[in-house]
Structure 1
Amino acid sequence: MLHMLQTCKHVLSDDSDITKLITFKSSLNNTEALANWDPNVAPCNMDKENWTGIICGKDGSVFGLRLENMGLTGTIDMDILSKLSGLRTISFANNSFAGLIPDVSKISLLRSVYLSNNNFSGAIRDDMFSGMSGMRRVEVQNNKFSGRVPASLTGLSILVDLQMQDNEFEGKIPNFEQKDLKVNFANNRLSGRVPSGLRNQDPNSFAGNNVCGPPVTTKCKSSNNKHTRKTLIIAIIGVLAILFIILLIFRKRKTPKNAYKNHQTMKLDRNNPYKTSSKELKKENDEENDAKRVEKSGNIEFVRSDIEVFELQDLLRASAEVLGGGSFGSTYKAVLLGGQAAVVVKRFREMNNVRKEEFYVHMTRLGRFSHPNLLPLVAFHYKKDEKLLITDFAENGSLASHLHVNRKPNEPGLDWPTRLKIIKGVTQGLAYLYNELPHLSLPHGHLKSSNVLLDNAFNPLLADYALSPVVSKRHAQECMVAYKSPEYTYHNRTTNKTDVWCLGILILEILTGKFPANYLKQGKGGSSDLETWVNSVVREEWTGEVFDKDMKGTKNSEGEMLKLLKIGMCCCEWDVDRRWDMTVAVRRIEELMERGGDDEYSSCTSDGDAYSSKGMTDDDFSFSKSVVDPKP
């Protein structure tokens, strides 16, 4: 096979930039990932990087640093970085830096700062972002920052993304008035009214705080002292007037004290011939209150208007069929009395820590989703020790059952056109979740073949999506597929490319017919048996053995199948920087056809736009070395 090699002509950057970056590296610890920072080689070859973690401008200057998922510690020397005149973006996300936030104000022309998932702590100076008019993205989530949200952030006129969740910020939220801004302040110690400029934000962005007012459902108490005093005075006058009237009436009747008591007793006896004792009255009241609580807890909250409403008791009386017991709980098919369409009820017992308001807000949001490749939520039910999610019933079961369950004799397996149709639909549904849930690093979080359901026409429907915010963290880490990813296995982090890794494994499973057995392990996933096997087959022999023998309808389709295999490998690349992002995966998969003329395809790069060659070699089909020999 023909393999094209590129010969790189080094176009040296400014020698002083090399010196500055080498000096900067010396302030860091655990820099094994930066081993190719060679003072004798330029960081950039025009817009192509020669050094790991460097983003190059078109003129060969150092445009950005993307030092993510490297286990780095030490000091981020902003004094040195401020001398890199072309630097516009910095990312130190998913490392182990600690201490105060780096003084990013020293680089006034920065456009984006990514410091999430570290151990930074302390307060952020209120004027930290003053004068940084080009700043568009600030991500500091999942650290230990405290103090108030810096007011200088409100002055960044073109800011579009602010992620500050999972810290210890306190006090009131400043008023942000940027038109296209998306924020996330969840899980801090913030209080007070949500400012008017943020009323259009996702309510989940304020969960885990003590805030009130739109868009959250908690109403704010009046803080108008004058109004409160006036109301109190009116109430006192009213009470005194009522007491005065009662006193006049009492004097007018001139009824003896004992006679009044006897009259009340007789009245009670006539109205209550059974002469209920105070103990029995208390029991009746308790039973009535219990009944009210049961009635209230028995409510089913519907999120769709195109289905006939039913009660929890209707579900309990319905004929039920156990469909399975997944990682979250048991699943039942229920056919309601009266011939309504069947629904699926899934019981969750691993959401005990989620608050009622938080659960309602999140599920109501999911209920508004509308996409042909998402299994729509019909209704939900909240109890402290158990939650129910009610969805439509998919006639053709799960993709896993078609790939792995023994079929009847002469029953065909899924053919290539159907498998391609399924993976295209899965990708479209996943892309929709990415678009609707930009504040979540795991828009799906549990993408696997048993959570891909099939309708009558074998269109895929994603199930169990976007549950990571409401599932207990311990259970999520033990059972959810996203936590089997290499970035979590070795660095205890997930990123917005983790769901892409899950998509890559699913693609390999669809093409090979082999189940990723490491999904069955509780806890971290370790090296994925499926991707390692695929890599070894294509590296050592490259034969048709990699494809599922039950996959029919493959005539003149080998080239397209090879392309999809390569897409899967690029999606589950261990190196997060080299792994494709969601937009690239969507574009590449949409380009696939049932039949193709050749097997031309490009190699894996971060943007999916690399050289093309007819015919592929072992190098074209290899993961980064960490797949075969993973190192934390």
Structure 2
Amino acid sequence: MDSRYLLFLSIVSIFSVATHAVSETESLLKFKKSLVIGKTNGLESWDDKKNPPCKWIGVLCHRASVWGLQLENLELSGSVDIDALMGLKSLRSISFMNNKLRGPFPEFKKLSALKSLYLSNNQFDVTIPKDAFDGMGWLKKLHLEHNKFSGEIPASIVRSPKLLDIRLDGNRFTGHIPEFTHKPLKLNLSNNALVGPIPKILSTMDQKLFEGNKGLCGKPLDTKCYSPYSISQEPMSNPKKKSSKFLYILAAVVAALAAILIILGVIIFLNRRRKKKQPLLSAEPGPTSLQMRSGFNESERGQGSYHSQNRAAKKMIHTTKLTFLRDDKENFELQDLLKASAEILGSGCFGGSYKTLLTNGSMMVVKRFKHMNNADIEEFQEHMKRLGRLNHENLLPIVAYYYKKEEKLFVCDFIEKGSLAAHLHGNISLGQPSLDWPTRLNIVKGVGRGLLYLHKNLPSLMAPHGHLKSSNVLLNEKFEPLLTDYGLIPIINEEKAQELMVAYKSPEYLEQSRVTKKTDVWGLGILILEILTGKFPESFPQVDKESEEDLASWVRSIFKGEWTEELFDQEMGKTSNCEAEIVKLLRVGLSCCEVDVEKRLDIREAVEKMEDLMKEREQGDEDFYSTYASEADGRSSRGVSCEGINLS
């Protein structure tokens, strides 16, 4: 009976897979009919009689399901049949770049699970509906550049919560720039017909991203914005009327200033009187720069009798003090931070980060943590002392911290070069050079060394870092990596840690709900693959609720054991004679990403392999340059070094 049942299940499984394949085949063939194929006939392979869909040109598959369409440079025209694509349930990425598509804007919002959409360099000349992207909660990359889109930028773009990369340049968009509620990592609006002030949240971006819009004003452009009330609307007027009008305005301004001075005098008088009556420590200063930006208050507002206020004031002497973890820094007070000018750097998983300039000239970063109540005050302080004792060239030390029950502040040095994530994914759109191969290899080595140090010095933690990702790796002036946000697992609220931290996205946690000593190694492996491929780890489609296809699975599906050019980041620059090194590092990354924890490298093995690779590289450079020097008399030359510099 059991054997019959198993046979029945096998038949059902085979039938369902076959049905799924037929369904996707029908969807793709129906979609093909809506297109006008160019002379090159790039879709010739789309024939259900010859090959399954996963063998067709431009069809990307995972586990026999279509997750991407990459139909680029095929001279396709006609319209896009979205209804046909709805039959592809696992579809997450679409690229129709460099074709001749036009007509009404397709209803991509019907594909609500889509993560990437590329329509660059086509011939769309329509206005995009305002609700064109409503419901596309997973959309992360949207490229519409170099078409002829007109009208206002659709408001639904702003409502897409996960958009990281937006390109709208080279179109005919008009109207104002919408108010983004989150700052995209990449945004290009150049060469349109936009007008009005640039939203404040975008004011720190490169001005090149807004050039070509004659009507735009405000930072980062050099064009100032003027109020419509500051310019007279009368084309011509009598000089006498102008002078009398000027006198009226001058009198009104003088009267207003006098009234303001009187009000200020009254306020100062009342404040002085109140301060004389109240204890010094119970006085409540107005909101400071950092308070206004972050919403952070340095103490609880006391209520009750005079005696209870006095007790609260005495307690505040302790609670408003910063606790310093380093002796090599000049001490400062919490008030010095709160009074300093603050600039928002970004909003992370647990709270915002703010850059502050102290009066002594020091540039500091204040990180605000809201979900850090997993330990009581004694345990928290003990853990912070342990973190404060850490000292390694690849760790960004915590200078000081502030404890409050509801939220905490961490104070660190400001690192000018910013995060590895920005250099891998953001700086190119700002016109800045990407990281070359030697720099990337050096960064990986430093990250490994820092991680090994954490594992040696925090042996009681299952995942001493726990939150390793490219945005938590900063680069100093020499592009040496500095790890941040390490050692947080013991003090972060467990439910928030499981929701947000990298360690809890590992295969062992998704499958077995456990974190091991090798969980950080998995994070290191994903980081290595991100550095080599230039791909966002978060940009891969979720297959089911228990597990998701990570970057490692995607790499394994393409990597066949040897150099594969399309696998690696094209922004890495010249890699002549470096292919063997890059492939070796890729193998280390994949060994760190083994789903089976027992087969996965431990942190020491991973670092040793990277150190060996660095030694081989340095030895290779020495051999190369010694050979080159000995042959420089003209007899012969070996040609090109690993960096791709022609020395012959």
TM bucket, shorter chain: 0.3 to 0.5
Structure 2 length-normalised TM:
0.47
Q: Which has the higher contact order (CA 8 A, sep 6+)?
A: 1
The structure with more helix, counted as a fraction of residues: 2
TM-score, scaled to structure 1: 0.48
